[in-house]
Structure 1
């Protein structure tokens, strides 16, 4: 989940924000107090202080060890305050400075209602923070000449195709890692929710409509996954093994894995939590193996500080070159504008290769990424490479801004002596705004005062086909219509809304509450087609009767 896309800025769907929310946090640390209301509201999307138009007259002042130590000394209180104000069950934080681990601690509980404490060796699901880890693995392969960032994916892909044959021939590993292939936002994620495996999803990306190639940013877990899997294929192995061989084992990241099974069998692991009112509960299990490179890594803060040291050490760890410096540096530079400025003084957001890339008011490079599972995880990593300073924050609660607030408060304190803004109050409404914008524009919980009656169930029942989503079966059980979708034959109850339109409760990572299902009834009195609103984000959600 990965990691959150430009408050993926007007994203219509849950967690279309993994890169965006990370970008907001990345831009936020460069803001002045005047850029943010102390009430926590955003003045205007993107209207933070501007990037310098010319190089600073003098190089940025380097942080001192004393300034970093001051920020570290306040971290316990920052974390506890965020937990107290939000109730998030568990948090783990790691800080690296000048190739040393200054801080690695856990707080709270691995599972709410138990006595199982979070520590620096507790395993968390990273969601989209997996993306910069994946680009590190690919950088290792690039350094060994197994692949090149500018290699067309078809050179290493088994049957890979997109809708446009020209784009298929030319789209590169870097294009997919920087989300500029033209694929729609979060292409393939709904197939994952329906239970399809990686192979099916990657094969069916060819049906997705494409925006202009290399001219349109859209955050895509499965586009990035295709590039990573192609790299592993070029190396003659699986992605899971390539990650372990090129990164986890060389760094001694013994509790880190790109396989969900390893997370599942870990005894010291944090479970996912969602919030209902003021209560946090462990209700869901999220298996992200289908999009492993984009959202399937699990790790601990102790392991993650080793990776931070590698990043800040330009590919070197404890005196050994693990990743080629030039190949790794390519991941840190802007490859695509992810968020253009919204005003003349707006700050521009960029995406590198698996990283959000931004610059502060002094022109310093800042790298970051957030991860989030709506089913119960939120993570963040932030680096100031010129200062050799980095922080990683892992939590076991759904995304509400906690890890971003902790990391931004820490970096703000290191640079200014104390937080210039209440970052939890500032960032929280951005997350809430995003979630509120993800539901259907129709309130299906309130049918019209005088709804048109539905036809007999027999008008709707039968089987329908869709080249992207596969088969749909509509049947009547105990007088209720049900819709069956996906390889696992998930069943959804259809509740009448108005005329030939029904509603159903969406489920899974991309759930958006109630969504609509509208039948088109032909002259014979039976439905010829059915459109599922939630599945129609890119125009692929219409099923045609085939019985």
Structure 2
């Protein structure tokens, strides 16, 4: 039965937000407790409330995986990838493995776009989604290593425009706080503004309207909190984020195919298009995903050839080809646990942490594990996973929406390296998890089902008008061919939502963008005259900011 339209319905964070909050890093069984905590948004108390940094985690010495064991896993990697492609039909996959400072695996499989013959290769450029984050913290480590910022500096010191809802948090929030998702910003804060097409300046300038959870005692995965840290670090260097990343990291490592600019991805002659499932479950390249607004958090694009060089730098403590590109101590701090993301699910389980752009865990051999996944619901899934003590790392990029494919390939690779064979059907395991996430993200109200008793709407003229909202900007409701439409977003390119009557003063519309999850509700409230005085868009009301109030004197 549908929920009554007069009942407030706050949508839970979208599937993409849940995936990001998981931080699925795919490093074998040790990752399972964190994954099982997804229903709680992986929220837990922070690892201490102090802004001071913890000691860098110990690495396993000596290595437990010799060349023979790693060789076994490398020999099986083609089969793991081909099996994933056969079972899922995902159009393209690229992977690279680094061991002992050597790129020992570098391959592409499948096609860049369904229906076209161009093959994926080691130089094919993919959108990285949230694998952009550990890449970004490496860039900021280069800035910290030069003494231009300190990790514990308040961000507002380097960017005076930085502002959050609580002035005390604004004055205290450090790079560590923003990069480890402990500022109090809720998961997905600002993401819906991005979906509507607002640019970075608008979103960062309105983020101070987002309510905050407890500062330094909560974990909420925030793209735009992370983005603020990147922008402030670039400001400290007197340049744009995109130029800083190129100068500090991409150019020294020869990462010529890597960029934080969407236009560079689009201009790449060898690029993988994002794909989603069509109604018949086949894959189709339907969407374009421009993540420039959240560039440090999700806007990078790269090839596995380039990312292998970055993994070399990570495993080499900032050293690359005999040169110290990033200060070793500054880089090591990005690996230090700062926040709890997953409490142990069982007495024998392990706690999982978030550092600065990295998920951190420890396996049953006491080995440090670093990982991060990326997910665009509009068509990309990526993963990078490192065992620093083994000097071993793998990156897997795909051009299909997140279904656990890169997670399964990475987990299978490490499983075979450790045990000589795969001990779990990783694709089945991760596929099941992602399938449950798909099912769990449905709206609270099923607007596709007509209510048992529907009440007629008022005349269209009762709803037509302009409604104000300080966060999303104005919403204009107009009549179009006898029906109602709502327009909101940037004035130069507004989004049009077609309203379909549900019952009484409630209409439905199709949600749009990366966080779309089906039909949502536009719930009007009328005054004594019978004219709508406000409208709440439940899809945009996740943190209480989705009510639009009729502007004074607005009749059309």
When normalised by structure 1's length, the TM-score is: 0.92
Does 2:72 match 1:64?
no
Q: Partner of 1:74: helix, strand, or coil?
A: helix
Q: CA deviation at 1:80?
A: 0.4
> Could you say which residue in structure 2 is the equivalent of 1:162?
164
Do 2:25 and 2:383's aligned partners in 1 also have CA atoms closer than 8 Å?
A: no
**Which of 285, 288, 307 in structure 1 is aligned with 2:288?**
285
- Residue 510, structure 1, aligned to residue 512, structure 2: no
Supply the distance in 1 between the matched residues of 2:100 and 2:127 (Cα, whole angstroms).
Answer: 27
Task: Tell me if structure 2 keeps the 8 A contact 1:19–1:369.
Answer: no
Q: Does the CA-based 8 Å contact 1:29-1:411 persist in structure 2?
A: no
Which of 456, 461, 466 pairs up with 2:459? 456
1:349-380 deviations in whole A, cap 9, x for unaligned?
Answer: 21000011111111111000000111100000
- Contact kept in structure 1, 2:62 and 2:389, CA below 8 Å: no
Equivalent residue number for residue 443 of structure 2:
440
**Which residue, 80, 93, 96 being the options, matches 1:94?**
96
1:7 match: none
Task: Name the CA distance, whole Å, in 1 between partners of 2:195 and 2:38.
Answer: 33
Q: 1:471 aligns with which of 471, 474, 490?
A: 474
Measured in 2, the distance between the counterparts of 1:515 and 1:11 equals: 12
Within a 5 Å distance, the mapping from 1:16-165 to structure 2 comes to: 16-23=17-24, 25-26=26-27, 28-30=28-30, 62-165=64-167
Alignment of 1:490 onto 2:491: no
2:275 and 2:286 in contact (8 A); partners too = yes
Q: Which residue pairs with 1:265 in the alignment?
A: 267
Contact persistence 1:42–1:426 (CA under 8 A): no
Tell me which of 519, 522, 528 is aligned to 1:523: 528
State whether residues 12 and 542 of structure 2, in contact with CA within 8 Å, keep that contact through their aligned partners in structure 1.
no
1:8-61 CA-to-partner distances (Å, cap 9, x unmatched) read: xx96312113434443624x43379xx99xxxx979979xxxxxxxx99x9776
Q: 1:138 to 1:11 in 2, by over 3 A?
A: farther
How much has 1:292 moved relative to structure 2? 0.5
Retained in 2: the 8 A contact 1:198–1:291?
yes
SS at match of 1:440: coil
Distance in 2 of aligned mates of 1:137 and 1:534? 35
- Give the Å deviation of 1:160: 1.3
Q: Which runs of 5+ in 1 are unaligned?
A: 1-9, 47-54
What is the correspondence of 1:260-409 to structure 2 with a 5 Å cutoff?
Answer: 260-276=262-278, 277-409=280-412
Residues 440 and 515 in structure 1, CA contact (< 8 A), matched pair in contact too: yes
Q: Is the 8 A contact 1:439 1:512 kept in 2?
A: yes
- The 1:302–1:264 alpha-carbon spacing in structure 2 relative to 1, beyond 3 Å, is same
Seen in structure 2, the aligned counterparts of structure 1 residues 60 and 426 have a Cα distance that, compared at 3 Å, is farther
Using the alignment, how far apart are the partners of 1:11 and 1:501 within structure 2? 20
Q: Distance in 2 between matches of 1:394 and 1:31?
A: 19
- Give 1:50's aligned residue: none
Shift of 1:348: 1.8
The correspondence for 2:547, drawn from 516, 528, 542, is 542
* Inter-partner Cα distance in structure 2 for 1:414 and 1:31: 16
SS at match of 2:96: strand
What is the match of residue 14 of structure 1?
15
Aligned 8 A contact 1:182 1:217 in 2: yes
Query: Shift of residue 88 of structure 1?
Result: 0.3
Query: Following the alignment from structure 1 to structure 2, what is the Cα–Cα distance between the partners of residues 529 and 120?
Result: 53
> Would the aligned equivalents of 1:12 and 1:437 in 2 still touch at CA under 8 Å?
no
For the Cα contact (< 8 Å) 2:25–2:359, is it kept in 1?
no
Q: 2:130 touches 2:373 (CA, 8 Å); kept in 1?
A: yes
- Taking the aligned partners of 2:345 and 2:68, their CA distance within structure 1 comes to 37
Q: CA deviation at 1:338?
A: 1.3
Q: Does residue 399 of structure 2 align to residue 414 of structure 1?
A: no
Please tell me the root mean square deviation across aligned C-alpha atoms, in Å: 2.0
Q: 1:350 to 1:78 in 2, by over 3 A?
A: same
3-state secondary structure, aligned to 1:107? strand
CA distance in 2, matches of 1:81, 1:418: 15
Q: Provide Cα deviations, 1:99-149, integer angstroms capped at 9, x if missing partner.
A: 000100000000000100000000000000000000000000000001111
- Asked if structure 1 preserves the Cα contact closer than 8 Å seen for 2:134 and 2:356, the reply is yes
Cα contact 2:126–2:303 (8 A) shared by 1: yes
Q: Is the Cα contact below 8 Å between 1:92 and 1:105 reproduced in 2?
A: yes
CA deviations 1:469-514 (Å, max 9, x no partner) are: 0000001111111010101211010111111111100111111111
Counterpart CA distance in 2 for 1:31 and 1:126 is: 21
In structure 2, relative to structure 1, the CA distance for the partners of 1:22 and 1:281 (3 Å cut) is same
* Gaps in structure 2 of 5+ consecutive residues: 1-10, 41-56
2:518, 2:315 → 1: CA distance?
Answer: 41
Question: Which secondary structure state, in structure 1, belongs to the residue aligned with residue 403 of structure 2?
Answer: coil
| Alpha-carbon offset, residue 452 of structure 1 | 1.1
Is 1:240 equivalent to 2:242 in the alignment?
Answer: yes
The structure-2 alpha-carbon separation of the partners of 1:462 and 1:31, relative to structure 1 and needing over 3 Å to count, comes to closer
